[in-house]
Amino acid sequence: MSEKVWLDSYPANIPAEIDSSPFSSLPELIDNTVRKFADKPAFSNLGQTLSFGEVDRLSRDFAAFLQGLPGASQGDRVAIMLPNLLQYPVALFGILRAGMTVVNVNPLYTARELQVQLKDSGAKTIVVVENFARTLQEALPGLAIEHVITTQIGDLLPAPKRWVVNFVIKYVKKMVPNWQIGKAWSFKKALADGATSEFVPVKIGPEDLAFLQYTGGTTGIAKGAMLTHGNLLANLEQVSLWISASFKEGREIAIAPLPMYHIFCLTSTLGFMKWGSLTVLIANPRDLPGLVKELGRWRFSVLTGVNTLFNALLNTPGFAKLDFSALKVVVGGGAAVQESVAKRWQEVTGTHLTEAYGLTETSPGVCCTPLGDPWNGSIGLPVTSTEVSIRDEDFKKLPLWNGEGDIAQHTGEICVRGPQVMRGYWNKLEETAKVIQDGWLKTGDVGHMNARGYITLTDRKKDMILVSGFNVYPNEIENIVAMHPGVEECAVVGVPDEKSGEAVKLVIVRKDRKLSKEDVAKYCHTQLTGYKRPRHIEFRDSLPKTPIGKILRRELRDAPAG
């Protein structure tokens, strides 16, 4: 029997290995795509659509602007702090075409979180939507940021709609806090200046960095996964083989409700672009009635999301009445797809949910269930040109699970090897050495593989909490809460939550007996992004610990949420 037992379970149209990419960089892929589909619609948002040709022109102008900035050079890190707007792909492709490295930033970060990431990356330039410029202003002291480019929500909409949208956002809805950043460029001015500047194509190879994609890893310390052009090109090809069998060039419409700063949506969007697909960018997927209304405008064929989003859509009035006749592929990632959601989704839409598994460190795709497979509790098979091995604590390979005996003897850490695996963590050799051994990436996730090559994930990263598909690391929250003068010690665990899958539970031993749950909640609100904030706060006289002083999180997790 082959060690790669999963190959025997591959659908007939899926090869064991990917061909070498005809492109040496993402800009080459982008250039080829925009030439091929120049007149086809590429991205739509807020009722405005840009063609591939328009994206090509605008991203070229932005690239020229970046190259002309004082002190700019190839390899510079450029941060993007935007929601899903038309400005995102323009900025993204412009950065890549200039030979620079993209640093994606969650626009909902607090000033502290933003400062940590920008300081670690050494980003010299940042593109930020005005709504969050105040946060950037607070984070700037001590950073290497030299150039700030700000944009308004409606900047790429045609006049007069642009003026109306920007006026309403700023003055009617008052969604733009006052901010003041010296020498900030406007996005429109940057594009105008770039349009009259020379763009100098740069030589970029597969080993050059494309993204510093930040993740907390298993420790909660912000780490930038170094993803090369080769990593991304390989994963685009790998994942494309699995999900695009029925795709037709220039005909597909993909809905992108997940944020582009998230690796899942980022790679998916690049993959759909290869096919000349139209990607509909959803700026606010939390507005479920608005999302259903937007879905109703399109005969969409592709949708990506997380379990909590699918569940929420199923429970939103009007969703079940949509036209799903063109829907071909629905991919769930970021968190396990629940059986009840998968079954109901199939009943309502007539389409199976395809489950995918991946990590930031793997660009991200590792495993995928074959299209059309009903839910079976697994994360599927390793994708083309990918090896997965289950290892024990001594890094010894564990036997396959044949359905008999003690399953614990077959359960261990999921390790991955393939062309999509990151180069390592930015400026963190020790952290890199902890997770990459003999070419294998140790994911920190626990599971087993059966004789057919299907992998079942039994535990997420140790102690990690998964809130609506986003990783939350207890250490980070504990470190912040422990700095409060009224806290003696604290611990954080995840507890089940119907809406978000898991929620953060914070247990505190008080130093100040007057400290209230409201005080803690207000403090966390100033220090942590929304999904990281504790949903449950509990006070105890002591925390359960092992004889050596390690907190017994399981006891806290199993106790009723307070």
Quote the DSSP letter at residue 341: H
Residues 6+ apart with CB under 8 A from 90: 50, 55, 58, 59, 62, 156, 191
Contact 245, 64 (CB under 8 A): no
Query: CA-CA-CA-CA torsion for 261, 20, 445, 371, nearest 10 degrees?
Result: 80
**CATH node for 465-558:** 3.30.300.30
Reduced to 3 states (helix: H, G, I; strand: E, B; else coil), residue 86 is coil
CA 48, chain centre distance (Å) = 24
pLDDT for 561 equals 56
Cα distances (angstroms) measured from residue 313 to each of 298, 344, 347, 467:
16, 11, 13, 17
Q: Is 509 exposed, middle or buried (0-12, 13-18, 19+ CB in 10 A)?
A: middle
CA 49 – CA 253 distance, rounded (Å): 12
pLDDT for 474 equals 81
For 24-202, give the CATH class. alpha beta
Torsional sign, CA 400, 403, 406, 412? positive
Collect the ranges in the chain with pLDDT lower than 50: 1, 217-219, 547-548
pLDDT for 460 equals 64
Taking each helix axis from N to C terminus, what angle separates 87-97 and 26-36, rounded to the nearest 10 degrees? 120
Contact 385, 18 (CB under 8 A): yes
pLDDT for 515 equals 96
CATH 3.40.50.12780 domain locations along the chain:
209-462
pLDDT for 527 equals 93
Reduced to 3 states (helix: H, G, I; strand: E, B; else coil), residue 234 is helix
Q: Is 459 exposed, middle or buried (0-12, 13-18, 19+ CB in 10 A)?
A: middle
**CATH for 209-462, options being 3.40.50.920, 3.40.50.880, 3.40.50.12780, 1.10.600.10:** 3.40.50.12780
Contact 402, 378 (CB under 8 A): no
pLDDT for 218 equals 42
Residues composing the chain: 562
Quick: pLDDT tens for 477-511: 987 898 899 998 888 999 999 888 999 999 999 98
pLDDT for 1 equals 44
Contact 501, 335 (CB under 8 A): yes
Which H, E and C letters describe 172-193, residue by residue?
HCCCCCCCCCCCCEEHHHHHHH
How open is the CA angle 407-216-551, to the nearest 5 degrees?
Answer: 60
CATH 3.30.300.30 domain locations along the chain:
465-558
pLDDT for 292 equals 98
